[in-house]
Structure 1
Amino acid sequence: MKQWPHWRGTRLPRSLLSLQPSTSRVFSTAKPLRHDPRIRDLGRLIHDDYATIRETYATPKYPIVLAHGLFGFSELRVSPLLPTIEYWNGIKQVLTANNCTVITATVPPSGSIEERAAKLAADILAQTTAASLPSAQDADGHATTTPPAVNIIAHSMGGLDARYMISLLRPSGIRIASLVTIATPHRGSSFADYLVERGAGPLHLPRLYGVIRRAGLGTSAFGQLTTRYMREEFNPRVRDDEAVRYFSYGAAIDEPPLLGAFRLPHGVVDKREGENDGLPFGFDQLVESREVDGEGVDGHEEDV
């Protein structure tokens, strides 16, 4: 029997879940998660809170920004003869069909967090300006000087870019209402250690940096995804913004097939950390996470 991933993290606000499938389906875990010390400080652990996909979901109040991960893109056209490849294939279309305003950012595929965060901010500002999003209004419906707000959904390294942008860049002209990270290595990736740290694994990736640069790609991202960098440099500097709602999701899968593409990273991370999703630079681990329940103190949906 196929086992679906075990989803974990802090609770996602209902208004950010905008999928609208034609039929209801139930996804549940086939076995309970063993205790995982990596997520002991995340607050309440969710299991199957959202296992049932509903017919309809509320449309979020603010636009959704989709921020891709390492080696990601918004759209990629390999050849004029082939269809365009989309990083968020199907997701943008479903959100748009549910009356969501969707912004897709494109940042340097393997650039540094600083470079990627700056480009993420520039893309958000450019696209919100082009879309002529309305500014915030006061209780009487009058426009205020508060800039328009957005929700960010970030995958993998995109979550680190967004955290850096929110905490240190603080772009003017836009307000971040919430950040949802999916499979973001907030405490670094053991597989990045395996590739980058000398003696940690058989492949010392820095030997290939010259080849990667000649291909027109950056190399700064790899060293910044290590557990040492995140522990000693990134997380001490990049702190949560109290005005932003933070949410986090991750997953764990059983051992991939013998010839599966994710068998090596899954095995490396499983040996060093425990259960993981098999993605080379994935598994969500939030720093300074605060438990939130998707509702305001008065029981109404939060302002996202």
Structure 2
Amino acid sequence: MQERQKHRLKQKELVMSIFSLFSTEFEESNVSSIWDITLPIEKIITYLNEKHNVLYKNAMWVYTQLRRYENELGVRLFQKIQKEGSESNFSLKIYQPFIYFFQKQHLYLSQKIKISNGAWDLIKNTMGRTGFEEPLKILLGAGSTIYHLAIILAKRSKEENIRFKIYTHNLGSLKQLVEPKTSFKNITVYTPAGKIDPVTYTIVGEDNEIYLKNKFDFIIQGTSCIHRGNLYIESAEEKNRKQTMLKECEGTKLLLLTKHELSDSPLKNRSPYGRVEDYDYVILPKGNTNPGVQKRYDNFLKQFDKILEAEILSWNYLIFKIKHQPDEV
């Protein structure tokens, strides 16, 4: 019996599906950036029909749903490129600039979920080997990758009855960790003092005492850019707190990467806050990727070949343990 065709997707599902198509097109192309990808609306509609069994007959109706979602979120996600002819003859690109947290949380979603699950599996495996006592103390950094990890931690804490003390200045993570559906008997959340940066959706400031006075089981971060092993982020204010977490806080340090952070050049007008070797583990997604991204990833593995040791190999992710010299520990 043929599956009954859906009339339409919810706005968020529609947006995430289109971002997934952009990601797939980029991975299968030779262009240097996902922002170079342009998708005709006809291709998007065909994809939605094949992927979700949804038939959209009106291209402008699809675009109207995207704009409503953007207006509700308060940021632009897509750029409409009008073609000659009718109003419904247009293409979409991912909007630039793409700097806000509420933009970035939609990008490379599949990779972010893979590496977030990898981080969770590493936590569980380490708990099993070493017999960590609950509640586990976890320090979460800023960024949209860590936001997706917070969703997993909240869910697993409730399902597996594991207690956490979570420290973070990531407002996206905070929102997920204090949702009514969260098991509050299992999760206690702590934040540092500071002011809110609406662009990165983080609490920034110089007062890191709440981080420095605790010994953590895990300290987990992402990053914006890696060039020759140096780590960079766009926000100068966030950099100070990120550097403190990496250099001064005590705990097993995890770096989560989608591979798209690997770059041929450093961020302009920004100095690095640390290096890859400052971490104890690096977690990356497994799978095919864009040739340019793959080349940078191959160079990354070559550069750190002597210190990266495969710890866990999954269908979805790779976890490398970083070998430190005795005086580095």
**Into which bin does the TM-score normalised by the smaller protein fall?**
under 0.3
**Structure with greater strand percent:** 2
TM-score, normalised via structure 2 length: 0.23
**Structure with greater helix percent:** 2
Whose radius of gyration is greater, 1 or 2?
2
TM-score, normalised via structure 1 length: 0.25
